[in-house]
Each structure stands twice: as C-alpha cells, then as structure tokens.
C-alpha cells in the first residue's frame, strides 16, 4: 500500500513538472506565409497595415473581406486606391472586368502576389516563378527609375525577394523594379486614367521585411507609386476569406490550447459512445393492439365545430362535399348551380322536380349568407339527407 502511494506521488510530481515545462516553454516562430494583417508572425502584414497612415498621410484605410466585384460595384467605391497583398490571387470574370473599369476611372490598384491566377495571366500575359534556394538566402532588388537611384540595391533575405516575372507584355507593361539578374519583379500597366502595379514579392511587405530598415525602405518606395487618395482600400479577402467565414470553431482551431481542449473533448465523447453502444437486455414492453379511434375522431371534430358555433363554415363545407360527390359519382358539372344544373339532377339522378328545385334554391341561398342560423343549418342537412336517400 505504501509503495502504491509513493508511486502515485512521484507520478503526480512528474506530471506537474511536465505541465509547467510545457506552459513556460518558448513558443516556436510561426513562419507560415499568411500575409494576414492581424498576424504578428514574421510573414503577416500587421506592421504594414498599422503604418499605412504614414505612407498615405491624410487618407483613411478601409479593410474589406469581399471579392473585388462586391467592393467596387456594390459598395460604389470611388476616388480611392486599392491594395491587395496575398500569396496568390484568382479573379473571376466579373472581378477582373470591374477592376479594369475601376482603374480606367483614374484609380490605382497595387497587387503583390506570387501567383496571379489564370485570368490575369491570360489577359496581361504574365507568369511568375520563385528561384529561392537554400544557401542563397540574400536577394538584391532595385528600382529602375532614375529618380530612385537604380544602382542602389536592397539586400533582402529569407527569400522575400526571390520571385520575378518570367513573362509579361513588354509592349504595354513598364518595368519599375528588378533583381540583380535584371529579371523584372515590379511592373506597371496603364488603363485609362489609372494604373495597375504588380509586384512578384508579397513577402517584401511582411512584418519580417518591414522591421528591417532595408525592407521598410523598399516597401515604402514601392507603395509611393500609388496615388495618395482620400480612401485606401485594403483587401483581406485573399488572406482571411469572406466575412461569412468566421465561426466559433475557427477561433478554437486557431488557438493551440483551445485546439487541444476541443480534440480531448471529442475523444472523450467517442470513448463514451463506444462504451454506451454495448447491447443491454431490456424489459420487452407489452404492445397493445391498435384501437379503432374513428368514432373518437368524429366526436372530437364535431365537438370542435360545435364549440366554435360557425354554422356558415359547416354549411359551406357540407355543400362543397355534396358538389364533389356529384362530380365524382355522376360527372355533373357544378361550376354553376342554375336551372341547367337542376335539370341534370332530375335527368341523371331521377330526383323529383319540386325537390330538386328546393335543393338548388336552398344551396344558392346558403352560399351567399355570411351567417347561418341553427334552423337554416338543420334545414340544409335535411334536404341533403333526402337527396342521398332519393339518389340511391
């Protein structure tokens, strides 16, 4: 017994030490290329989004988590500049058409992405590639404008400047920047009164790059080409998804502690279900034979109608049932209860002429009444019962 207690104490101490060590261990750096403006990891864009007011003084930044078409067409965005920084962008036909229309109206669009999708690639004749390799971490990039000192190279690492355009429309595109191998990585297309700026290196605008003087200078210079309008549209759709994509489960799975709690809960529920599905012998219940409840149903329905005292409703339904019976059994048209209808009753059913006239006249009388007295309802019922007796 003493040995068991000692074993449990030692196990508890070791468990506590393990838990404390796990809680206090330094968190590993997340190098995931999210380019999310809410992420403070190296390849998030939290720093750039927070300092946009420095790059565009006097302007207001408005983030959108909607496709390009929804932002421009539905929100009627005008006199603004559009910034999209993501790992890859895939525009639809409506998105692309609205974007070009937006640029032609005199607005600037800045897109930094490693992949531009099929539609942009086809319409602008562009293609990108990443030549980053281990052991060659330093990349040199520069601008070609004579006002920006083309001989000055920005030395960047971690593959942030390793992408370039292997193909682009040399007749319509203007090369604004390149790498040390003279491969274009920053180009411009002009449409109408506005410009479309394309960068092949979105990681140059990440937290990792902007927290270094060289990276911050390159990002500021690149974005200085964009017009400083009163409104800057910041895209979150291509890094965070649509607004409707938020859910409580997304919060759980984005936090490591909550993620483990969620998995443990699922595992516990699974174990519980596995134990509970074992077959247990239960008392076999006595199954009573079904009773004929037709009479009870009729009594209940009759009681309901009686309590409501809606004689007009009962009378109209009784007439409808009678007319339906005539249509189904004798193929008599009941759209009009006139003299022709009365003659058909006499001819097909052999009713007495006086009785047929009384029945038809009373039906027409009841149909136009909003309120039916008990006496009138009883009289209608007597006539219909007499009809059934004579028609058999």
Check residue 306 and give its pLDDT: 63
Q: What is the CATH number of domain 46-250?
A: 3.40.50
Query: To which residue do tokens 């549209």 refer?
Result: 233
pTM above 0.85, yes or no: no
pLDDT tens, per residue, the chain with 392 residues: 556 667 667 777 877 887 777 667 777 788 889 999 999 999 999 999 999 999 999 999 999 999 999 899 876 677 899 999 999 999 999 999 999 999 999 999 999 999 999 999 999 999 999 876 654 568 899 999 998 988 899 999 888 999 999 999 999 999 999 999 999 999 999 999 999 999 999 999 999 999 999 999 999 999 999 999 999 999 999 998 886 555 556 555 656 677 777 778 887 888 777 766 665 556 778 888 877 767 776 677 667 666 666 777 777 888 888 888 888 887 878 777 788 887 887 777 777 888 878 888 888 887 778 787 878 878 878 888 888 787 76
> How far apart are alpha carbons 324 and 318 in whole angstroms?
10
Residue spans per domain, the chain: 46-250, 294-391
Check residue 374 and give its pLDDT: 77
Check residue 375 and give its pLDDT: 83
Check residue 392 and give its pLDDT: 64
């Amino acid at each position: 017994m003493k040995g068991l207690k000692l074993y449990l104490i030692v196990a508890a101490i070791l468990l506590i030490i393990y838990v404390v060590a796990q809680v206090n261990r330094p968190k590993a750096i997340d190098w995931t290329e999210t380019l999310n403006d809410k992420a403070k990891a190296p390849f998030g864009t939290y720093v750039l989004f927070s300092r946009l007011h420095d790059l565009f003084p006097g302007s207001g930044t408005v983030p959108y988590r909607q496709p390009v078409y929804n932002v421009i067409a539905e929100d009627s965005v005008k006199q603004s500049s559009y910034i999209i920084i993501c790992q890859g962008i895939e525009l639809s036909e409506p998105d692309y058409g609205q974007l070009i229309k937006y640029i032609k109206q005199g607005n600037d669009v800045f897109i930094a992405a490693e992949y531009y999708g099929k539609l942009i690639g086809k319409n602008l004749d562009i293609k990108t590639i990443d030549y980053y390799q281990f052991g060659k971490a330093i990349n040199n990039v520069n601008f070609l404008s004579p006002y920006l000192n083309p001989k000055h190279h920005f030395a960047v690492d971690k593959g942030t400047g390793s992408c370039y355009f292997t193909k682009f429309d040399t007749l319509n595109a203007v090369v604004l920047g390149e790498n040390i191998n003279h491969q274009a990585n920053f180009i411009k297309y002009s449409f109408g009164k506005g410009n479309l700026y394309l960068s092949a290196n979105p990681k140059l605008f990440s937290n990792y790059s902007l927290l270094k003087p060289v990276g911050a200078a390159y990002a500021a210079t690149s974005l200085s080409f964009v017009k400083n309008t009163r409104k800057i549209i910041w895209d979150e759709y291509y890094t965070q998804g649509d607004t409707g994509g938020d859910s409580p489960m997304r919060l759980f799975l984005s936090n490591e502690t909550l993620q483990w709690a969620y998995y443990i809960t699922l595992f516990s529920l699974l174990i519980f279900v596995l134990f509970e599905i074992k077959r247990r012998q239960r008392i076999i219940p006595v199954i009573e034979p079904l009773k004929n409840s037709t009479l009870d149903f009729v009594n209940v329905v009759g009681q309901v109608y009686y309590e409501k005292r809606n004689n007009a409703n009962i009378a109209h339904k009784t007439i409808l049932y009678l007319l339906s019976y005539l249509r189904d059994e004798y193929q008599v048209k009941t759209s009009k209860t006139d003299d022709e209808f009365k003659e058909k009753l006499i001819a097909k059913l052999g009713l007495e002429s006086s009785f047929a006239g009384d029945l038809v006249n009373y039906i027409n009388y009841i149909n136009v009444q909003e309120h039916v007295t008990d006496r009138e309802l009883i009289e209608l019922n007597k006539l219909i019962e007499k009809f059934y007796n004579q028609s058999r």
